[in-house]
Amino acid sequence: MAISEFNAALNQVATERGIPVESVLETIRAALVSAYKKDYGSTTEDITATVDSDTGEAKIYKGGEDVTPSGFGRIAAQTAKQVILQKIRESEKETVFADFKKKIGTIVNAHIFRMEKGVVIVDLGKAQGILPQSEQIQTEKYSLNQKLKVLVKDIREGGRGLEIIVSRADPLFVSNLFAMEVPEVAQGVVRVEAISREPGSRTKIAVSSKESNVDPVGSCVGQKGVRVQAIIAELNGEKIDIIPYNPEIDRFIAASLSPAKVADVIADRDNKEAKVIVPDDQLSLAIGKEGQNVRLAAKLTGWRIDIKGLNDTAKPEVDSLSEEEPAVESPVEEKTEVEEDKKEKVSEDSAQETPESEEVKDQEKNGNE
């Protein structure tokens, strides 16, 4: 390394890393001592090195005596170069990680370039990301060079230093997909109030609107379901229930159990437990396949939910809570033409009052789930 190159590189590293030149020189001196001991078989502890910060000239001392071997200048130059390049790489890596730290909680584009024992390694452009099995959608199949979107979830210390952890299974991934596809969500007019998810199978998302003339459910579904269908496609067919949020917990719980119709909700606010009464023909639909529907509803509302059929209880005073604020269930392509006309009519009337959203899936089919 020429003298001018050494001095320029030394100052570059010090400036970029925000550390004193002396700290870089100390690292070089330590590397020179290690190189001398390795190449010349010295095991003594009183070996020291000096490096001229202007010329880059290096000398080795043993007990205060100059024992610099002939030709050591070449070793010193190579060692100094390696140390400086390593410092530059570390600086660049720290800059990249700092940039990605700002992106935690956001979605980025990636492509798969390696898979190791179930762990997927993705290229994020300037860095690599790790998609652990726990953050994968288990129903998805991954392949080399596959392009996909991922959520930057965390940056943490791993076996190879700092690692960027990405996810496709996190509920926030779905929430952010809505922000990408629905302008009203991105602008903050429509807000995601709560979300519960079983990745690859089903998601329930509760939305509200800051403006009375904007239907939050209709905004998320989009005309003819185009918005929610784009999200479903990204999730490879994962079902999505879009539910109108209601601050009145009994009505929110009733809506959260969509597509089932609810007759009554008896809420114990002290213990956050609710007894939900449904018509007998809605019982299996309310519970869902293997309990999924009620499980997701409980996660969405944060309440413990106990479902009973009408035959198990006295007839409730309220005929149906669900009819007042229905939810929209995907896939949207299963809607009938009549239901499409209803949805368009709702969008037209939204300037006068907040419309009631329509169900977009056949209940009998869902009951079998």
CATH of the domain at 28: 3.30.1480.10
Choosing from 167, 184, 210, the residue where a domain stops is 167
| Section 297-323 average pLDDT | 74
Cα separation, 82 vs 72, in Å, equals 15
Check whether 369 has a pLDDT greater than 60. no
Give the Å distances, CA to CA, from 89 to 30, 85, 139, 177.
19, 6, 38, 34
326 and 216 fall within a common domain: yes
User: CA angle, 135 as apex, 134 and 140 as ends, to 5°?
Assistant: 100
211 and 159 fall within a common domain: no
264 and 352 fall within a common domain: yes
Check whether 112 has a pLDDT greater than 90. yes
Confidence of residue 40 (pLDDT cuts 50, 70, 90): confident
Q: For the ranges 76-85, 147-156, 270-279, 293-302, which has the lowest average pLDDT?
A: 76-85
Looking at this protein, which amino acid is placed at residue 86?
Answer: Q
212 and 249 fall within a common domain: yes
The CATH code of the domain that includes 138 is: 2.40.50.140
Cα separation, 46 vs 39, in Å, equals 16
Check: CB of residue 196 under 8 Å from CB of residue 296: yes
Nearest to 156 by CA among 93, 91, 89, 97: 97
259 and 348 fall within a common domain: yes
Question: pLDDT tens for residues 326-358?
Answer: 566 654 443 333 344 444 444 444 434 433 333
What is the pLDDT at residue 222? 95
184 and 308 fall within a common domain: yes
Cα separation, 71 vs 132, in Å, equals 50
Confidence of residue 124 (pLDDT cuts 50, 70, 90): very high
| Section 126-150 average pLDDT | 95
Confidence of residue 62 (pLDDT cuts 50, 70, 90): confident
Question: pLDDT tens for residues 166-198?
Answer: 999 999 999 999 999 999 999 999 999 999 999
177 and 159 fall within a common domain: no
What average pLDDT does the chain have? 83
- Segments forming the whole domain that contains residue 88: 3-101
Total domains in the fold of the chain: 3
Sign of CA dihedral 132, 135, 140, 145: negative
Q: C-alpha dihedral over 222, 253, 331, 209, to 10 degrees?
A: 10
Question: pLDDT tens for residues 191-246?
Answer: 999 999 999 999 999 999 999 999 999 999 999 999 999 999 999 999 999 999 99
Nearest to 241 by CA among 307, 292, 180: 292
325 and 179 fall within a common domain: yes
Choosing from 101, 122, 137, the residue where a domain stops is 101
Confidence of residue 306 (pLDDT cuts 50, 70, 90): very high
| Section 135-153 average pLDDT | 96
36 and 96 fall within a common domain: yes
Cα separation, 333 vs 326, in Å, equals 18
The CATH code of the domain that includes 331 is: 3.30.300.20
198 and 315 fall within a common domain: yes
What is the pLDDT at residue 316? 41
Confidence of residue 19 (pLDDT cuts 50, 70, 90): confident
